[in-house]
A = this chain, B = another copy of it.
Amino acid sequence: MSEIGIKDIAAKANVSTATVSYVLNGTRNVKLKTRERVLRVIEEMNYKPNNAAQSLKRKRTNTIGVIAEDVTVFNVPEIIDGINDCADRMDMHILLTNLRLDKRIGRDFDRVESYRHYADNAVSELLSKQVEGIIYIGVHPRDLTGLIDTSGKPIVYTYCYTQKDVSIQYHDEQASYEAMTYLVTKGHKRIGIISGAMDSIPSRLRFNGFYKAVTEYELPFDPQLIKMGNWEAESGYRLTRELFELEVRPTAILAMNDVMAVGVMRAAAEMNIQIPRDLSVIGFDNREFSEYLIPRITTMDLPLHEIGYRAMESLSLLIKGEQAELKPMPKCRLIERDSVAPPRTS
């Protein structure tokens, strides 16, 4: 029975409820002896303060809400972990809501109306529970302006954004630029790129990084080396075949995610092209499997933990009424493995 309350403690310890509260919260000095007595009784009766009553009285709950569009998407757990990490340190608690978008409406994220309902519910519920702020974790970066109304409560977005709220994202452009730099350093000049879906923001950002590298390193610019994929392995496969029908073939391919990199590898295997001897491949996301492929693929690691941590930091600032500081975007990190080598001097 969790029915023991502060007054049960007070009675058993021969003090008033106020005294119990004082020793519990350290709000005022209590004679050592009484304090010890109270503490002992609390221990004995295994008393736990009723959080509902506390929240009602103080105006704080020390709780924030996290809305995840789908916890089963690969990047989400690590972001949550980052939020947790930070929240623990500031003694904040987390109320997690899982929208289950993937299961419920599939991948059709652009039809905002199809899930506004779920989002609204989640927010209402969280607000009802008196959260002091909300972190929204998208499954895919996109503009969510107007989706959510938090009634003035602070909100931070990650893996998506709105036009007026704080959002935390990693540096896509820097990431692909860095990947290109690595390839160039290894001696590659003709580098093919297989993009994600073109209506996606990360795709465009990563393209920017690619162009920047092409320009800065004065690589031969050939539109034929640029292929529009759709994030799926099949597109990596198909486009790699196209790339290899070119008269002058690329010596390296940058795939905008690891899944498409798998497609690249499949195509290569079929055409008897050895990676990395005949073709270098670099992926994106550092998905778990990227380490298990043969060869293990070199890829860009996403700073997911850091994103979560930062989101929590910013939210905490907003809750305190301060301005969220504008730190530079978290960067991706190159994971060097076995799928990149210098081009063959044929």
A interface residues with partner B (beta carbon < 8 Å): 1-2, 46, 48-53, 55-56, 61, 70-72, 74, 76-78, 80-81, 84-85, 88, 93-98, 100, 103, 124-125, 127-130, 149, 151-153, 233, 259, 262, 265-266, 269, 287-289, 292-294
Contacts and interface: CB of A to CB of B under 8 A. Distances in A.
A81 B52 contact: no
Given A52-B61, A56-B52, A56-B56, A125 B293 contact: no
Given A48-B128, A85-B103, A292-B293, 4 more contacts: A1-B152, A81-B100, A95-B96, A233-B292
Contact of A77 (B71, B127, B269, B292): B71
23 contacts: A1-B151, A2-B127, A2-B151, A49-B128, A51-B52, A51-B129, A52-B52, A52-B53, A53-B56, A71-B80, A71-B81, A74-B288, A81-B100, A85-B100, A93-B125, A94-B98, A95-B96, A265-B294, A269-B294, A287-B288, A288-B288, A289-B289, A292-B293
A50 B46 contact: no
Contact of A72 (B77, B265, B266): B77
Nearest to A149: B46
8 A-B pairs with the lowest CB-CB distances in the bound complex, closest first: A289-B289, A96-B96, A52-B55, A51-B128, A262-B292, A52-B52, A51-B129, A84-B98
